[in-house]
A and B are shown apart, each in its own frame.
Chain A
Amino acid sequence: MVPLQSVCLLFVALGALAVVVTQDVVRQAILFSIYGFSLVVLFVIFQAPDVALSALVVGGIAYPLVLVSAIARVAAQRKRK
Chain B
Amino acid sequence: MSVLPYLLAAWIFLAGLYGIVSSRNLIHLVVCVSVCQSATYVLLLAVGYKKGGTAPVFADIPSSRRVVDPVVQSLTLTDLVVAVAVSALLLSLALKVYDHHESLDPGEVTELAG
Contacts and interface: CB of A to CB of B under 8 A. Distances in A.
A and B touch in the complex (CB under 8 A): yes
Interface in A33-81: 35, 39, 42-43, 46-51, 54-55, 58, 62-63, 66-67, 70-71, 73-74, 77, 81
A47 B28 contact: no
Contact of B80 (A5, A25, A54): A54
Interface of B, secondary structure class, is helix
Contact of B95 (A12, A55, A73): A73
Contacts, number: 117
Interface of A: 1, 5-6, 9, 12-13, 16-17, 19-23, 25, 28-29, 32, 35, 39, 42-43, 46-51, 54-55, 58, 62-63, 66-67, 70-71, 73-74, 77, 81
